[in-house]
Structure 1
Amino acid sequence: MTASTISTKGTALITGASSGIGAVYADRLAKRGYDLILVARNAERLNALASRLTAATGRSVSTIVADLNDKAALAKIENVLREDSRITVLVNNAGVGSVTSVLNDNVDEMEAMIGLNITALTRLTYAVAPVFAGKGAGTIINISSAVGIAVELLNGVYSASKSYVLSFGHTLQRDLADKGVRIQTVLPAATATEFWDVAGYAQQKEAASTMTAEDLVDSALAGLDQGELVTIPTLQDGDDWTRWEAARRALTPKFANANPAPRYLLPTERV
C-alpha cells in the first residue's frame, strides 16, 4: 500500500528530527497517520530515518538538511511552513544545552544557544501560526524543559531559554486558542538522548531518574490527546502543576497598584 492510498492527518514538520526526541516524534506521528517533513543538520541520519519510517509505515517522509542558526536555512523552513498547505503540525524540538556556569562558558556558544532555542523556535512559530489560524486548525508543539521552572539546575542561559518557551506558550494559547490552533508546551526532565553528550554531562543518560526518549514522547502525545496545554511527563501528581500555575496567575491582579508597597517606603513615610 502506498502513502497516497492511506488516509492522512496532514503533514507534521519536526525540527531536530535526526535523533533523540525528534526521531521518536517522527516515528510516533508517522504511525498515527501523518506524513512527515524532517529537519536537522545530519543528512545521513535524516535519510536513514526517512527510509526506515517510509518502509515501516507507508507514509510520505521528506527531509530538509538545515542548520537553524543559519539565517538562510531558517528562512527556507519558514517559507515551507507558510506555503505548504499540507502541514497540520509543527514540532519545535531542535535545541541545545549546557551544564556549565557563566564563569566557564563561552558567550558566543551561549548566543548560538539563544539563536536555536529561542530565535528559531519563535520564527518558525510566527511563520506557521497565521496559516493555522487562517484554516482554523493546526497544532504547535514546543519542547521546553523542566529547568524552565527548576532554573537553578543547569546552565543559566539554557534554563532561561526554556523558561522563554514556557512563557511563549502561555501567550500563544491566549492568542490562538479561539482560532482553532492547539498549543502544547512539553517540559521534559532528564531524558536519555545525545543532548547530554553535547551539554558535557554524558553520565546523566545512565542515571536511574533519566527517562527514555520513547517514554517521554509517548507521554507527551498522551497529554496532547487529553487536551493538556502544558505536559510534564515526569511529574507524578498533575495537581502539583495545577496548583503552581493557579498561584502564579493569582499574582497577576496584585501587580496593579499605583503606589509602592509599604516595605519600600522610607522609615519616615511609614505609618
Structure 2
Amino acid sequence: MSDPNIAVVTGASTGMGAVYADRLARRGYDLLLVARNKTRLDAVASKIVESTGRSVEVLAADLADPTDLATLEDRLRTDESVALLVNNAGGTVFGPLAQADPAQLEKLITLNVTSLTRLTTAALAGFTRRGTGTIINLSSALAFNVLPVSAVYSGTKSYVVAFTQALQQELADTGIRVQAVFPGAVRTEFWDGSGIEVTAMPDEWVMSADDAVDAALAGLDAGEPMTLLSLPDIAHWDQFDAARQTLIPNLSRSVPADRYRN
C-alpha cells in the first residue's frame, strides 16, 4: 500500500477497537492505536506486530480530557501519513435520567459527541489537502431503538447518524469516504458498569467483536454509507431512509399544517 497508510483507531485496547486494529493491519495499514490503558495498548500492539509485521504506535490518551484530545487532534491535522480514522472510542450509561450523575453524563457526551466531532474535523483538514481518506464513525443500534434508560446514550449515537449523513453530503464530490457503523449488542467490556449486563441478554442478540468488525469492513468494501451489522435485508434501511426523505419538502413552510389551525 502506498503512502499515506496509517490507520488511527481510538478505543483500541479492547473489543471492537482491538479487532479493527488487527484487521486493518492485515489489510496493509500501519497503525496508531489510542486508548487510556497503555498496558493493554502495548499488548495489542505487540500481538499485531508479531502477526503482521506492520508498524504500530500507541498513544495513551483519555479523549474526554482536553489536553489528551488536543494531542491527537494535532497529530491528525498535521501527519500526512494518516489515511483512515476509526472513531470507535465511546462509553455508555444506562438508567433513569432523574437518578443519573450529571457529571457522568457530561463525560459521556464529551466522549461520544465532542471528541468524535473534533477528531473528525482534525482528520478532514489533512484528508481535504490530499483529496483522499476514510472516516469510520461507530454509532449504535440504539440510535434507532431508543429505550427509556438510554436517553443520553441514544441521543449521542443519534448525533453520530446526523453528523455522518451531513458529512457524506458535504464530501460527496471528493475522494473522502465517511461510513457510519451500527452495532447491536456486541460481547465486549463496553457493558461493564453500564447498568445493563450483556450476560443477561439472549445469545441470539449478541454478536462477537470479530464478526462485528468483519461485517463493518465488508460494508465499507461494498461502499455502504450506513452499515447496520445484523439487519438481514438492507432494503429495510432504504425504506426507512426513503420515508425520512418524504418529510423534507414539508418540514419548512410558510403556514402551519391544517391540523394546527382552527
CA 210–13 in structure 1, closer or farther in 2 if over 3 Å, else same: same
| 1:127 equivalent in alignment to 2:111 | no
Check the 8 A contact 2:216/2:227 in 1, yes or no. Answer: yes
Match of 2:77 in 1: 82
Q: Among 201, 206, 210, which residue is 1:214 paired with? A: 210
| 1:116 equivalent in alignment to 2:106 | no
Question: Which segments of 5 or more consecutive residues in structure 1 lack a partner in the other structure?
Answer: 1-5, 267-271
Match of 2:10 in 1: 15
Check the 8 A contact 1:147/1:162 in 2, yes or no. Answer: yes
TM-score (structure 1 length as normaliser): 0.93
Please list, as runs of the form range in 1=range in 2, the aligned pairs for 1:186-265 lying within 5 A after superposition: 186-204=181-199, 207-208=202-203, 209-265=205-261
1:132 counterpart letter in structure 2:
F
| 1:149 equivalent in alignment to 2:144 | yes
Match of 2:172 in 1: 177
Aligned-pair identity (%): 48
Check the 8 A contact 2:97/2:149 in 1, yes or no. Answer: no
- Bigger Cα Rg: 1
Name the stretch that deviates more: 126-135 or 156-165.
126-135
Check the 8 A contact 1:204/1:210 in 2, yes or no. Answer: no
C-alpha displacement at 1:9, in angstroms?
6.4
Name the stretch that deviates more: 48-57 or 204-213.
204-213
2:224 counterpart letter in structure 1:
E
1:138 counterpart letter in structure 2:
G
C-alpha displacement at 1:134, in angstroms?
1.7
Q: Look up the SS of the partner of 1:115 in the other structure.
A: helix
C-alpha displacement at 1:86, in angstroms?
0.6
Summarize deviations over 1:175-209 as a string: whole Å, max 9, x none. 11212100000010111011111313234476311
1:167 counterpart letter in structure 2:
A
Q: Among 28, 33, 47, which residue is 1:33 paired with? A: 28
TM-score (structure 2 length as normaliser): 0.96
Match of 1:98 in 2: 93
| 1:137 equivalent in alignment to 2:126 | no
CA–CA distance in 1 between the matches of 2:258 and 2:190? 47
Check the 8 A contact 1:147/1:159 in 2, yes or no. Answer: yes
CA 236–153 in structure 1, closer or farther in 2 if over 3 Å, else same: farther
CA 93–153 in structure 1, closer or farther in 2 if over 3 Å, else same: farther
Q: Look up the SS of the partner of 1:90 in the other structure.
A: strand
Q: Look up the SS of the partner of 2:93 in the other structure.
A: coil
Question: Which segments of 5 or more consecutive residues in structure 2 lack a partner in the other structure?
Answer: none
2:28 counterpart letter in structure 1:
G
| 1:166 equivalent in alignment to 2:161 | yes
Check the 8 A contact 1:191/1:205 in 2, yes or no. Answer: no
C-alpha displacement at 1:254, in angstroms?
1.3
Check the 8 A contact 1:96/1:198 in 2, yes or no. Answer: no
2:162 counterpart letter in structure 1:
S
CA–CA distance in 1 between the matches of 2:234 and 2:226? 10
